[in-house]
Structure 1
C-alpha cells in the first residue's frame, strides 16, 4: 500500500477530563497517514478513484469540534474510524496533538499515535 498523509489538521475542541477544558476549549491537531493503493487513481487521473482528502479533512475537523470526550484516546479512535470508513483505506495511523494540555510543567506537545487497520 502507498501512504497518503495529511499533517496538521487544526480545530478547536472541548475535550478533556477537566470541566474548564470542556467549557473553554483548546486547539487540537491531527495528523493522518492512510494506507491506500493509488495505482488505479494514477492511471485514471480521476478523483473518484482515490480518497478525497478534502472531504476527509472536513470530517476530521468536525469530529474534533463536536461531541466532547474526556480522552485523546477516544478522539483518536473516532478519527481512525472516519478514515477507515472509506473501503479503499487499508490502514490508518492517526496522531492527535494536544499542545495546551493542562500540565504543570514546561512542554511543547502531548501527542498520541494509534495505528488501526481493517480486520
Structure 2
C-alpha cells in the first residue's frame, strides 16, 4: 500500500448557504489523500500503474466549480468521482477549507474532512 497526497489545491468558488457567498465567492484550500497499492508502479515506473495526481487535481477543480451549500457535499462529490474514475484507489480523505469565512468573527478558516474506504 501507499499514499498519494495532493495538498493545498487553491480554488476560488461559490459555496455556502448565504446569498452573498453565491454572488461574491471565496478562496478555498482542498487537500486530497488517497491510498492504493503502488507496488506495481514502483517497479514499472509507468503512470498507468499509479494514481495520476493531475487527474485528482482535475476532479477537484471541476467539483469545486459546481456550487454547493455545504462543504461536506462538495467533498463527497470529490470522493465519489475519485472512486468512480480511479479504480486503483482503496481509500480517500478529502478536506475542504473555506478561507476567511463570513461568520462574524476573526476566523482564518473553517474546514471539513471526509474519509471513505472502498
TM over 0.5: yes
Q: Distance in 1 between matches of 2:27 and 2:108?
A: 13
Q: Distance in 1 between matches of 2:23 and 2:107?
A: 23
Q: Distance in 2 between matches of 1:10 and 1:39?
A: 30
Query: Is the Cα–Cα contact under 8 Å of residues 56 and 82 in structure 2 kept in the other structure?
Result: yes
**Count of matched residue positions in the alignment of Structure 1 and Structure 2:** 117
What's the offset of the Cα at 1:10? 1.1
What's the offset of the Cα at 1:56? 1.6
TM-score (norm 2): 0.94
| Structure 2 portions without partners, runs of 5+ | none
**Paired residue secondary structure (1:98):** strand
- The aligned counterpart of 1:73 is 72
What's the offset of the Cα at 1:100? 2.1
- Summarize deviations over 1:26-57 as a string: whole Å, max 9, x none: 11111011011110001100001111111220
